[in-house]
C-alpha cells in the first residue's frame, strides 16, 4: 500500500466533509493510505497573506516541517487555497534567505524544504487513475462543466496545470469516468472566494454567471476541486438564484465524488447528503440519460 502525507486543512474537517469522505473512498480503491499530518495547524488561508507576510509563510511552513519530520516528500493538499499557501511558503523558503533564517526560529522547527505539496488533481493522476481505471464500472452518462476557479491555475509559478487559461485535466478524468465534459466559458473565472462572508452580494453575482453558463450549455453538474468554490456555488445558491431570477438547481460536486460514483460507491458514503443543493435528481438520472456528444 502506498502511503502519502495528508493535510486536510480546516475545510475538510468542517464545511467540506464530503470532500474528505469521497477523497478517502477513492484512495482506498487505489490502495493508497492518506496519513494525516500530526498536530497540523491552519495554513492561514484566505486572509493571513493580506495582513502579515511573515505569518503567512510561517503558518503553512510549520505543516511542511511536520511532513518532513514524518518522512514524507509529498503532501496531498486537496483544498486549492491551502495548496496555494503551502506551495507559496515552500517557494519563499527556497528562494528567500530572510525566510530560510527566520521561519525555523518562529515555528521552532527545522525545515529543509523537502516536502512538496501536491493538488488533488495531481494526486488523482499520479496515484489513483491507473489503479482504478478497470474498476470504473458505473459509467457516468451525463454532461459536466469542469470548474477550476482561481487557485489551481494561478499564480503561474505555483500552478502545475498545463494550458492554465483552458485546462483539460478534469475533463480527461470525466471522460475516463464515462461522462462528457462540456466546452464552456467560465472554467477559470473567480467565484468570489473568501468574500463569501463579508460580500455575499459579490459572490452571488460572480457565481450566478458561472451557474448560468454551465446550465445553459446543458451541464448536469458542475465539477469542482476546491472547498471554497464548492461552498460558494452550493451554499450561496439562494443569492445566486436571486441574481438569476430563477430557481437553478444544477448541483456542484467534487471531482472525488464523481470518481466515487463511477466506482459504484453509495452516494451517502461520498457525502452527497451534505450538499445544500441536492444532487438526488442528478444521481437518479445518471443511469437513464443518453448523452449526445
Give me the pLDDT at residue 286, please: 78
Q: pLDDT category, 162, cuts 50, 70, 90?
A: confident
Give me the pLDDT at residue 68, please: 98
Residue 5's region, left for phi above 0, alpha for psi from -120 to 50, else beta, is beta
Is there a domain that residue 131 lies in?
no
**What is the pLDDT averaged over residues 135-142?**
89
Here the CATH number for the domain that contains residue 89 is 1.20.1050.140
**End-of-domain residue from the set 85, 120, 155:** 120
Give me the pLDDT at residue 292, please: 38
Q: In terms of pLDDT, which residue wins out, 77 or 50?
A: 77
Q: Give the model confidence (pLDDT) of 250-270 as tens digits.
A: 999 999 999 999 999 999 999
**What is the pLDDT averaged over residues 105-121?**
96
Q: pLDDT category, 196, cuts 50, 70, 90?
A: low
Would you say 141 and 290 are in contact if contact means Cβ atoms under 8 Å apart?
A: yes
Cell triple for residue 261?
460514483
From the CB of residue 244, how many other CB atoms can be counted at a distance below 10 Å?
A: 17
Whether 76 shows a pLDDT value over 60: the answer reads: yes
Average pLDDT over the chain, rounded to an integer:
92
Residues 7 and 114 in one domain: yes
**What is the pLDDT averaged over residues 12-24?**
95
Q: Which domain holds residue 149?
A: 136-285
Bridge partners of 6, per DSSP, are 36, 76
Q: In terms of pLDDT, which residue wins out, 289 or 187?
A: 187
**Whole-Å CA distances, 266 to 185, 220, 270:** 32, 19, 7
Is there a domain that residue 220 lies in?
yes
Q: In what order do the strands lie in the sheet with 74-76?
A: 32-36, 2-6, 74-76, 116-118
- Enclosing H/E stretch for 131: helix 129-132
Residues 276 and 142 in one domain: yes
pTM value surpassing 0.75: yes
Most confident of 9-18, 58-67, 200-209: 58-67
Whether 237 shows a pLDDT value over 50: the answer reads: yes
Residues 175 and 281 in one domain: yes
**End-of-domain residue from the set 120, 147, 174:** 120
Whether 48 shows a pLDDT value over 70: the answer reads: no
Give me the pLDDT at residue 14, please: 87
Question: Distance between CA 194 and CA 235 in Å, rounded?
Answer: 13
Whether 291 shows a pLDDT value over 80: the answer reads: no
- The alpha carbon of residue 40 and the mean position of all alpha carbons in its chain are separated, in whole angstroms, by 19
Is there a domain that residue 291 lies in?
no
Which DSSP symbol is given to 292? Answer: P
According to DSSP, the β-strands at 2-6 and 74-76 are parallel
Bridge partners of 5, per DSSP, are 35, 75
Whether 290 shows a pLDDT value over 50: the answer reads: no
Give me the pLDDT at residue 293, please: 33
In the block, which residue shows the cell 451525463?
142
**End-of-domain residue from the set 89, 120, 151:** 120
Give me the pLDDT at residue 282, please: 87
Give me the pLDDT at residue 37, please: 98
Whether 288 shows a pLDDT value over 80: the answer reads: no
**What is the pLDDT averaged over residues 9-33?**
95
**What is the pLDDT averaged over residues 24-37?**
97
Q: Minimal CA–CA distance to 45: which of 199, 229, 218?
A: 229
Q: Minimal CA–CA distance to 232: which of 200, 257, 256?
A: 200
Whether 223 shows a pLDDT value over 80: the answer reads: yes
Question: Distance between CA 235 and CA 229 in Å, rounded?
Answer: 10
Q: pLDDT category, 218, cuts 50, 70, 90?
A: very high
Q: Minimal CA–CA distance to 230: which of 197, 252, 255, 250?
A: 252
**What is the pLDDT averaged over residues 205-220?**
97
Which residues are within 8 A (CB) of 170 and not within 5 positions of it... i.e. 6 or more apart?
Answer: 121, 146, 148, 181, 223, 225, 255
User: With pLDDT > 90 as the criterion, what percentage of the chain qualifies?
Assistant: 81
Is there a domain that residue 78 lies in?
yes
Amino acid at each position: 500500500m502506498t502511503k502519502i502525507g495528508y493535510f486536510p486543512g480546516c475545510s475538510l474537517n468542517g464545511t467540506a466533509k464530503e470532500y474528505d469522505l469521497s477523497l478517502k473512498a477513492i484512495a482506498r480503491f487505489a490502495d493508497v493510505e492518506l496519513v494525516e499530518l500530526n498536530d497540523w495547524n491552519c495554513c492561514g488561508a484566505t486572509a493571513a497573506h493580506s495582513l502579515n507576510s511573515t505569518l503567512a509563510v510561517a503558518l503553512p511552513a510549520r505543516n511542511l516541517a511536520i511532513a518532513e519530520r514524518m518522512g514524507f516528500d509529498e503532501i496531498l493538499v486537496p483544498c486549492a487555497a491551502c495548496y496555494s499557501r503551502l506551495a507559496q511558503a515552500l517557494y519563499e523558503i527556497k528562494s528567500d534567505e530572510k525566510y530560510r533564517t527566520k521561519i525555523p526560529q518562529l515555528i521552532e522547527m527545522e525545515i529543509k524544504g523537502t516536502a512538496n505539496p501536491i493538488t488533488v488533481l495531481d494526486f488523482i493522476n499520479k496515484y489513483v487513475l491507473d489503479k482504478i481505471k478497470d474498476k470504473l464500472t458505473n459509467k457516468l452518462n451525463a454532461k459536466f462543466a469542469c470548474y477550476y476557479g482561481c487557485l489551481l491555475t494561478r499564480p503561474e509559478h505555483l500552478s502545475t496545470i498545463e494550458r492554465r487559461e483552458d485546462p483539460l485535466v478534469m475533463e480527461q478524468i470525466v471522460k475516463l469516468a464515462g461522462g462528457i465534459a462540456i466546452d464552456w466559458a467560465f472554467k477559470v473565472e473567480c467565484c468570489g472566494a473568501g468574500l463569501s462572508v463579508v460580500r455575499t452580494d459579490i459572490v452571488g453575482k460572480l457565481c450566478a454567471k458561472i451557474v448560468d453558463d454551465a446550465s445553459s450549455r446543458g451541464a448536469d453538474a458542475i465539477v469542482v476541486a476546491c472547498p471554497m468554490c464548492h461552498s460558494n456555488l452550493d451554499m450561496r445558491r439562494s443569492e445566486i438564484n436571486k441574481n438569476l431570477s430563477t430557481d437553478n438547481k444544477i448541483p456542484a460536486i467534487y471531482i472525488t465524488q464523481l470518481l466515487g460514483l463511477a466506482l459504484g460507491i453509495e452516494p451517502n458514503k461520498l457525502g452527497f447528503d451534505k450538499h445544500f443543493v441536492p444532487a438526488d435528481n442528478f444521481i437518479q438520472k445518471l443511469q437513464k440519460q443518453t448523452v449526445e456528444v
